[in-house]
């Protein structure tokens, strides 16, 4: 990228961020459902590795690879920085974090895919949802609400990342529309998201527990008043909304409406009271609360809870970021549906004498489904027509709407005839669905014809529909933008070859198809042909190569891609794009669900038309000499009109899938019961707090304060560390490598034996582990003394990895090969803390510390010896697990590289030497760290 312009891939990044949000949300839901939510299998306090492999868990593990692959896709984040030349974002923290996360995912997925880490995994996934949501919003930039009108709604130019929730919330609000962002409370993320979290916790956990031994509350009159209130408020809002938008005299275009940014008197009055209607929509959540208080737990289904949650989040999102424009029609339809629903709920509370007349209850779900279809189609128009509405918001809206559509369709299929005795048209027992796209795709494929459903890739919905989406996005959005400032590609010979190839393949397919069906000797009835399900040898041979012809039909899409690359945009009409899209979907549908029978004649006619069309396209590429003879071109359209394959309906069923992560029981029984020090709920929050304090909150807190005078505390600390490390070293060497010890210096496995001297060591080892964690205080003292130049990347990363390694080896490999490395490292720490103690006495003593530079040499030699010694079990079988070697050597090599870099920069001519104290660093590094922290 040194001599190249940054790539303009902002839309690709938006899609990546939206994809990561959706996949992470799916994963978090499935993980929690299977582990810690009511009905899950995990103990929140302490969970071991069970080794179970029942049918439910087998389904989970079958598709777990998809979520692992999605986590590996985190690396694209850095790749995008490179392609956009955002090199300042590619910090040590960023790269090391992504690297270690990938290695950890590989390690735990392979060796410990269940157990105690599940809680940490859930937290981490939740954090990733927040992060990628932030990244998605931040990519919208100052043009988030810009329309083609001269009157524009302005937002903040840049959203700087912060770990302060109040600052982050304020920045989010400031990105919003000026007409709504000052609403009291209802658009503040610190109100909305805690409200949603509290709602989920109450209706799924706290509420059912609280009501367990209580009688249902008699609040029927309150529920009736609530339903009437919701009907009245929704009706008023619908009238005001339509009056301003689509009714005669309104200002909206029904086809495509952008964001105008108008702020005249009429709109000001409308927005003035908008916060009230937003608050009322949040009151939808009370519907579920009433179900809990009345102990109607069968009505609190996944569909019910997810629907209310997404509606609340969507109301917040659109109110803050897109309070006008294309979503207005969907909002109106949704409000109308809510009026009907709440009116039904009110009538249903009046008892059996009224319920028997509510025969129209089942149509509520149908109405919801129709609503979602209309909303998705209508809000997608700005993807193809530029009317000033941001496409990024369309993508976000459709992802959530499609999720709800799938769930409502599944509910309608699974429970179409529920008795009219319930207020909510849902049942936990009858609603079976999946949020896992791989399981959903597998369920659809399993419904297909046995003769075609095993085709490689071409009939998998996870291939076909992303292919169609990428095609639409490229030919209508990304492709034209990319070609805007480029010359057309000279690919005429490629196009000719493509057309000839399509002619030949279509002709071969047509011949084989007709031979099997309608030619003399064929087996089809020209008048009416059903699906026979035959699998004789001739048919098996025919279906054997069917996937190839399907793949070639998908290659039809290249026709439009060539138009983009040649800048023939006038040929990329709505007809052209819709036709290719529908053909691709139809090929997938009929090949999977109806690969024989009545559609065969339409398929043959369509193949013949394609032979003629591609032959015409080939001739047309030969230039004006040939084109003058193509007088029959207009008859191609006539032929197309004559040939349209029939459409059939398809019923989908959705399967269940669960995701499970287990860890704990592979830990060593000699150390896993240590108090606190090996508990990941203690160690990793401690590391996170350490990093946050020394890199963010500590420097901020000390910014306007004088340095603390704690030199005596530091001296006591250094002496204590010398003493504890010395005792630890002696106790470690006695049962291992000193005469009488039981360890082999060359290669030592994990025996699991419990000699008496080892038991004494393990009995007190947790104390030494705790003291090693106290290494982190070293950096804390730097912060308190405002020695920020010493808080380098090397220093912080080293301390962090040491703590993680101590936890890892203490829990999983507290014996065996690492013992020599631990002994070496402990000795080095004794020497280091001795130096630090002496250096604290000032210039009088420092002049005798000529051996200071050899500390770094000692560290480097230590790491080389450790890597070499730890690698022995890779070549010699002595009972030490090789995966632990890989984990150890990866991190040790990283630290070695950092120390070598420091040595070169400090003590050689490689760069400017450092002379800044006991733990030397460069001023430039310190400034870079501060700048990177600010950018992060």
* pLDDT tens-digit readout, 335-356: 999 999 898 888 888 888 777 7
Q: 495 and 387, same structural domain?
A: no
Q: 510 and 605, same structural domain?
A: yes
Q: What pLDDT is attached to residue 632?
A: 67
How many C-beta atoms lie closer than 10 Å to residue 56's C-beta? 14
Alpha-carbon distance 788 to 796, whole Å? 12
Instruction: Please provide residue 662's backbone torsions phi and psi, each rounded to the nearest 5 degrees.
Output: -130, 150
Q: Which residues are catalytic?
A: 307
Q: 127 and 199, same structural domain?
A: no
| Domain-embedded: residue 487 | yes
Identify the domain boundary among 589, 622, 655.
622
Higher local confidence (pLDDT), 26 or 374:
374
Q: 750 and 616, same structural domain?
A: no
Long-range contacts made by residues 34-38, C-beta under 8 angstroms, separation at least 24? 34/60, 34/658, 34/659, 34/660, 35/118, 35/119, 35/122, 35/660, 35/661, 36/118, 36/119, 36/122, 37/204, 37/205, 38/204, 38/205, 38/208
Q: What pLDDT is attached to residue 763?
A: 67
Alpha-carbon distance 916 to 927, whole Å? 15
Q: What pLDDT is attached to residue 339?
A: 92
Please give the average per-residue pLDDT across 180-197, as a whole number: 87
Lowest mean pLDDT across 621-630, 875-884, 892-901, 908-917: 908-917
Q: What pLDDT is attached to residue 215?
A: 92
- Over 50: is that where the pLDDT of 662 sits? no
Burial class from Cβ neighbours inside 10 Å (0-12, 13-18, 19+) for residue 4 reads exposed
Burial class from Cβ neighbours inside 10 Å (0-12, 13-18, 19+) for residue 573 reads exposed
User: Under a CB-based contact definition with an 8 Å cutoff, are residues 375 and 334 in contact?
Assistant: yes
Q: What pLDDT is attached to residue 754?
A: 52
Q: What pLDDT is attached to residue 430?
A: 32
User: Which are the contacts of 407, defined by CB distance < 8 A and separation ≥ 6?
Assistant: 302, 303, 306, 307, 433
| Domain-embedded: residue 776 | yes
Q: 642 and 600, same structural domain?
A: no
pLDDT bracket for residue 184 (50, 70, 90): confident
- Over 80: is that where the pLDDT of 635 sits? no
DSSP conformational letter for 616: H
User: Under a CB-based contact definition with an 8 Å cutoff, are residues 44 and 60 in contact?
Assistant: no
Alpha-carbon distance 750 to 742, whole Å? 12
Q: What pLDDT is attached to residue 728?
A: 84
- Over 70: is that where the pLDDT of 264 sits? yes
Q: What pLDDT is attached to residue 657?
A: 29
pLDDT in tens, 862-872: 989 999 998 99
Q: 657 and 581, same structural domain?
A: no
Instruction: Give the containing element (helix H, strand E) for 229.
Output: helix 220-244
Q: 799 and 660, same structural domain?
A: no
Measuring CA to CA, how many Å separate 464 from each of 14, 107, 401, 553?
21, 32, 20, 12
Alpha-carbon distance 339 to 235, whole Å? 7
Measuring CA to CA, how many Å separate 714 from each of 317, 705, 761?
51, 19, 29
pLDDT bracket for residue 424 (50, 70, 90): very low
| Domain-embedded: residue 155 | no
Q: What pLDDT is attached to residue 427?
A: 34
Q: 893 and 824, same structural domain?
A: yes
- Over 50: is that where the pLDDT of 655 sits? no
Q: What pLDDT is attached to residue 189?
A: 87
Identify the domain boundary among 606, 640, 666.
666
Number of structural domains in the chain = 4
Please give the average per-residue pLDDT across 111-119, as a whole number: 83
Please give the average per-residue pLDDT across 223-243, as a whole number: 90
Alpha-carbon distance 285 to 304, whole Å? 10
- Over 50: is that where the pLDDT of 749 sits? yes
- Over 80: is that where the pLDDT of 931 sits? no
First to last CA, the chain: 23
pLDDT bracket for residue 416 (50, 70, 90): very low
Q: Which residue, 423, 420, 422, 417, is CA-closest to 358? A: 420
Q: What pLDDT is attached to residue 522?
A: 79
pLDDT bracket for residue 644 (50, 70, 90): very low
Instruction: Note down the domain range covering 925.
Output: 709-935
Q: What pLDDT is attached to residue 35?
A: 81
| Domain-embedded: residue 589 | yes
Identify the domain boundary among 569, 601, 622.
622
Alpha-carbon distance 267 to 285, whole Å? 28
Q: What pLDDT is attached to residue 423?
A: 35
| Domain-embedded: residue 131 | yes
pLDDT in tens, 482-537: 888 889 988 888 888 888 888 888 888 888 888 888 888 777 888 888 877 777 77
Q: What pLDDT is attached to residue 827?
A: 92
Q: 866 and 921, same structural domain?
A: yes
| Domain-embedded: residue 682 | no
pLDDT bracket for residue 909 (50, 70, 90): low
pLDDT in tens, 61-70: 776 777 888 8
Lowest mean pLDDT across 208-217, 339-348, 419-428, 724-733: 419-428
Q: What pLDDT is attached to residue 158?
A: 38
Q: 112 and 184, same structural domain?
A: no
Q: 752 and 786, same structural domain?
A: yes
- Over 70: is that where the pLDDT of 255 sits? yes
Alpha-carbon distance 327 to 382, whole Å? 11
Average pLDDT, the chain: 79
Q: What pLDDT is attached to residue 228?
A: 92
Alpha-carbon distance 150 to 73, whole Å? 40
Q: What pLDDT is attached to residue 143?
A: 45
pLDDT bracket for residue 936 (50, 70, 90): very low
Q: What pLDDT is attached to residue 738?
A: 84
Q: Which residue, 493, 466, 474, is CA-closest to 564? A: 474
- 51 conformational bin, left if phi > 0, alpha if psi -120 to 50, beta if neither: left
Please give the average per-residue pLDDT across 591-600, as a whole number: 84
Q: What pLDDT is attached to residue 195?
A: 92
Please give the average per-residue pLDDT across 223-242, as a whole number: 90
Please give the average per-residue pLDDT across 759-778, as a whole number: 77
pLDDT in tens, 847-904: 788 888 788 888 889 989 999 998 998 888 888 888 878 878 887 888 888 888 888 8
User: Under a CB-based contact definition with an 8 Å cutoff, are residues 564 and 572 in contact?
Assistant: yes
| Domain-embedded: residue 694 | no
Angle at which helices 711-733 and 756-773 cross, to 10°: 160
* Maximum alpha-carbon separation in the chain: 109
pLDDT in tens, 151-176: 333 333 333 445 567 777 788 888 88
**Which residues sit opposite 114 in a β-bridge?**
662
- Over 60: is that where the pLDDT of 259 sits? yes
Q: 29 and 129, same structural domain?
A: yes
| Domain-embedded: residue 320 | yes
Q: Which residue, 537, 516, 303, 543, is CA-closest to 426? A: 303
Alpha-carbon distance 470 to 467, whole Å? 5
User: Which are the contacts of 884, defined by CB distance < 8 A and separation ≥ 6?
Assistant: 809, 812, 813, 818
User: Under a CB-based contact definition with an 8 Å cutoff, are residues 49 and 665 in contact?
Assistant: yes
């Amino acid at each position: 990228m040194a001599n190249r312009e940054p790539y303009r891939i902002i839309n690709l990044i938006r899609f990546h961020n939206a994809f990561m949000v959706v996949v992470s949300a799916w994963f978090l839901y499935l993980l929690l459902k299977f582990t810690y939510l009511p009905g899950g299998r995990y103990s929140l306090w302490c969970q071991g590795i069970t080794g179970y492999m029942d049918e439910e868990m087998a389904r989970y593990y079958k598709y777990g690879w998809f979520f692992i692959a999605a986590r590996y896709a985190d690396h694209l984040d850095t790749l995008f920085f490179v392609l956009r030349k955002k090199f300042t974002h590619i910090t040590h923290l960023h790269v090391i974090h992504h690297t270690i996360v990938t290695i950890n995912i590989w390690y735990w997925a392979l060796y410990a895919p269940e157990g105690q880490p599940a809680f940490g995994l859930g937290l981490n996934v939740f954090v990733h949802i927040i992060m990628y949501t932030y990244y998605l919003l931040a990519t919208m930039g100052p043009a988030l609400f810009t329309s083609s009108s001269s009157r524009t709604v302005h937002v903040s130019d840049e959203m700087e990342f912060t770990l302060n929730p109040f600052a982050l919330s304020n920045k989010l609000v400031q990105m919003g529309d000026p007409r709504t962002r000052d609403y009291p409370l209802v658009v503040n993320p610190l109100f909305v998201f805690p409200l949603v979290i509290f709602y989920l916790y109450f209706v799924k956990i706290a509420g059912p527990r609280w009501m367990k031994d209580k009688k249902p509350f008699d609040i029927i009159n309150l529920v009736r008043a609530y339903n009437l209130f919701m009907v009245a408020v929704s009706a008023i809002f619908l009238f005001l909304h339509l009056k301003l938008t689509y009714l005669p005299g309104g200002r909206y275009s029904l086809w495509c409406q952008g964001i105008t940014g108008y702020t005249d008197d009429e709109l000001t009055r409308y927005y003035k009271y908008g916060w009230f209607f937003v608050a009322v929509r949040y009151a939808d959540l009370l519907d579920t609360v009433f179900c809990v208080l009345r102990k109607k737990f069968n009505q609190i289904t996944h569909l019910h809870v997810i629907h209310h949650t997404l509606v609340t989040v969507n109301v917040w999102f659109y109110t803050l970021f897109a309070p006008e424009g294309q979503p207005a029609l969907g909002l109106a339809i949704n409000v109308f549906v809510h009026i009907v629903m709440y009116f039904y709920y009110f009538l249903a509370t009046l008892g059996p004498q009224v319920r028997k007349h509510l025969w129209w209850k089942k149509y509520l779900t149908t109405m919801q489904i129709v609503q979602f279809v209309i909303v998705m189609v209508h809000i997608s128009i700005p993807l193809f027509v530029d009317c000033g509405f941001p496409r990024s918001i369309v993508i976000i809206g459709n992802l959530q709407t499609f999720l709800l559509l799938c769930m409502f369709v599944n509910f309608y299929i699974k429970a179409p005839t529920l008795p009219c005795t319930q207020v909510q048209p849902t049942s936990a027992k009858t609603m079976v669905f999946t949020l896992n796209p791989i399981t959903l795709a597998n369920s659809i494929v399993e419904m297909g014809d046995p003769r075609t459903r095993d085709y490689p890739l071409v009939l998998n919905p996870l291939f076909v529909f992303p292919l169609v989406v990428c095609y639409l996005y490229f030919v209508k959005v990304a492709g034209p933008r990319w070609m805007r400032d480029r010359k057309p590609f000279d690919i005429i010979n490629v196009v000719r070859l493509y057309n000839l190839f399509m002619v030949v393949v279509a002709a071969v397919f047509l011949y084989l198809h007709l031979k099997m069906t309608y030619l003399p000797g064929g087996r089809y009835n020209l008048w009416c042909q059903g699906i026979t399900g035959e699998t004789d040898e001739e048919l098996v041979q025919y279906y054997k190569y069917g996937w190839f012809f399907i793949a070639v039909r998908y290659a039809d899409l290249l026709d439009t891609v060539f138009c983009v690359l040649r800048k023939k945009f006038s040929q990329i009409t709505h007809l052209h794009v819709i036709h290719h899209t529908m053909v691709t979907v139809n090929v997938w549908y009929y090949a999977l669900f109806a690969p024989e029978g009545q559609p065969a004649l339409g398929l043959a006619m369509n193949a013949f038309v394609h032979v003629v069309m591609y032959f015409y396209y080939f001739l047309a590429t030969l230039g004006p000499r040939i084109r003058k003879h193509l007088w029959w071109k207009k008859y191609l359209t006539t032929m197309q009109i004559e040939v349209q394959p029939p459409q059939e309906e398809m019923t989908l069923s959705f399967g269940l899938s669960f995701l499970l992560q287990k860890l704990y029981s592979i830990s060593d029984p000699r150390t896993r019961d240590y108090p606190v020090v090996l508990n990941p709920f203690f160690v990793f929050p401690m590391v996170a707090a350490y990093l946050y304090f020394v890199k963010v909150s500590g420097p901020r807190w000390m910014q306007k304060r004088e340095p603390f005078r704690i030199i005596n505390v530091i001296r006591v600390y250094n002496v204590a560390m010398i003493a504890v490390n010395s005792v630890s070293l002696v106790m470690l060497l006695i049962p291992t490598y000193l005469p009488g010890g039981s360890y082999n210096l060359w290669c030592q496995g994990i025996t699991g034996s419990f000699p008496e001297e080892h038991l004494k060591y393990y009995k007190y080892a947790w104390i030494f582990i705790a003291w090693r964690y106290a290494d982190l205080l070293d950096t804390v003292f730097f912060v308190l003394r405002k020695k920020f130049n010493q808080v380098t990347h090397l220093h912080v990363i080293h301390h962090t990895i040491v703590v993680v390694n101590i936890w890892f080896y203490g829990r999983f490999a507290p014996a065996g090969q690492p013992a020599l490395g631990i002994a070496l490292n402990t000795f080095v720490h004794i020497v280091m803390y001795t130096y630090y103690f002496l250096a604290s006495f000032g210039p009088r003593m420092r002049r005798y510390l000529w051996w200071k530079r050899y500390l770094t040499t000692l560290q480097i030699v230590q790491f080389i010896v450790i890597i070499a010694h730890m690698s022995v079990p890779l070549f010699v079988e002595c009972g030490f697990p090789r995966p632990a070697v890989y984990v150890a050597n990866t991190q040790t090599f990283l630290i070695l590289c950092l120390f070598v870099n420091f040595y070169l920069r400090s003590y050689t001519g490689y760069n400017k030497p450092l002379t800044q104290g006991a733990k030397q660093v460069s001023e430039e590094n310190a400034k870079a760290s501060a700048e990177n922290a600010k950018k992060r």
